[in-house]
Amino acid sequence: MKVYISGTFYEQDEAKISVFDHGLLYGDGVFEGIRAYHGRVFRLRDHLDRLFDSAKAIALDIPMDGDALMRAVTEACKVNGIRDGYIRLVVTRGVGTLGLNPYLCKKSEVIIIADSIQLYPKEMYEQGMKVVTVGTLRNHAEAVNPRIKSLNYLNNVLAKIEAINAGVMECIMLNGQGQVAEASGDNIFVLKHGVLKTPPVWCGALEGITRNVVMDLAREAGIEVRETPLQRYDLYTADEMFMTGTAAEIIGITEVDRRTIGADGPGPVTRKLANAFHALTRTEGEPIL
């Protein structure tokens, strides 16, 4: 595998950045997880827009424009023979001193790893998954705003640890008001009486690319969609529930805190939206030349 670092492709073993990079020292940087399907990079523009917004929010200068980044991402796929895969695009603050001051960092580094990913076993997509709500809260919007896809994922890692300790693979995080925010690395949707609901970003959700695609697909299918605050009660009493994310795609949830959701595996609307999503991935995307 060849890894792109700031303009050059390196063999995997040679792909290294400095121990003085603030991405390592302080989690100071931003990233995107992107998928390629059938030789095309799905929603690449949307991912790059979010990357630039995340960078701007933390006053990080990305030393390339969107077009150049787009070419680099598709090239990383091409160089590695990736037609279906997962791309991790990372921008770190770069090499600095041992102090926090980001303005002393010389130049941010752009890293692109084009590989593959399988977050959950295949059977889980058929059977649905069990989750728990956890005590680790999503960050307050005036701390590291959860809309920023930063390299500082410790909060999410702590939530994930709680899930694994509880014997499940994923969790749902709440915000400081007890409202549902999202899973540790995915957005959350519930269906109740035919209405599809997901927390608005101000409740602590990342504005997921998959989330946006799913809301569009649902509306096209004539399903009413609402971005509305949800409480744990809304999870427990949902008719259907699923998570969305680039890596996870769409995965049904069949149990929350030991309350069963639906009857037998992921519900019909979840399945319908998952099928529509996969169909869409076959028809659009930025070509890998």
For residues 28 and 186, which CB has a smaller minimum distance to ligand PMP in the complex? Answer: 186
- Please indicate whether residue 197 is annotated as part of the active site: no
Beta-bridge partner residues of 88: 33, 113
Residue 147 binds to ligand PMP (criterion: CB under 6 A): no
Binding flag, residue 160, ligand PMP (CB under 6 A) = no
Nearest-angstrom CA–CA distance, 100 and 122: 43
What CA–CA distances, in Å, run from 208 to 126, 156, 264?
23, 15, 27
By CB under 6 A, residue 175 contacts ligand PMP: no
Residue 78 three-state SS: helix
Which residues make Cβ contacts (< 8 Å) with residue 196, sequence separation at least 6? 189, 190, 215, 218, 223, 224, 225, 226, 269
Our CB check for ligand PMP shows the closer of 87 and 105 to be 87
232 φ, ψ (degrees, to nearest 5): -60, -35
Which range in 55-63, 70-78, 121-129, 205-213 contacts ligand PMP by CB under 6 A?
Answer: 205-213
Among positions 199, 204, 245, 267, the unique one binding ligand PMP when judged by CB under 6 A: 245
Between 92 and 244, CB nearer to ligand PMP:
244
Query: By CB under 6 A, is residue 186 in contact with ligand PMP?
Result: yes
Question: Looking at 3-11, 15-23, 240-248, 276-284, which segment touches ligand PMP (CB under 6 A)?
Answer: 240-248
Select from 19-27, 207-215, 226-234, 259-267 the region that touches ligand PMP (CB under 6 A).
207-215
Q: By CB under 6 A, is residue 33 in contact with ligand PMP? A: yes
Question: Using CA atoms, how far apart are residues 235 and 182, in angstroms rounded to an integer?
Answer: 11
* Token pair in block for residue 88: 């991790």
Which residue out of 130, 149, 160, 197 is catalytically annotated? 149
In 134-223, the DSSP E strands lie at: 170-174, 180-183, 187-192, 195-198
Least Cα distance to 108 among 95, 121, 122 occurs for 95
- DSSP helix/strand/coil, 142: coil
Among 191, 206, 217, 235, binds ligand PMP (CB under 6 A): 206
Residue number, 105 or 159, with CB nearest to ligand PMP: 159
Binding characters for ligand PMP, 246-285, by CB under 6 A (x = yes): xx--------------------------------------
- Which segment (8-16, 126-134, 242-250, 260-268) binds ligand PMP by CB under 6 A? 242-250
Q: Do the Cβ atoms of 69 and 279 come closer than 8 Å?
A: no
Please state the closest distance from residue 201 (CB atom) to ligand PMP, in A: 10
**211 lies in the binding site for ligand PMP (CB under 6 A):** yes
89: contact with ligand PMP by CB under 6 A: no
Contacts of 90 (CB under 8 A, 6+ apart): 23, 29, 30, 31, 109, 110, 111, 112, 113, 151
Tell me which residue has tokens 């889980």.
124
CB of 283 to ligand PMP, least distance (A): 18
Longest dimension (CA), the chain: 57
Q: Which residues bind ligand PMP (CB under 6 A)?
A: 33, 156, 182, 185-187, 206, 208-211, 244-247
- By annotation, the residues acting in catalysis are 149
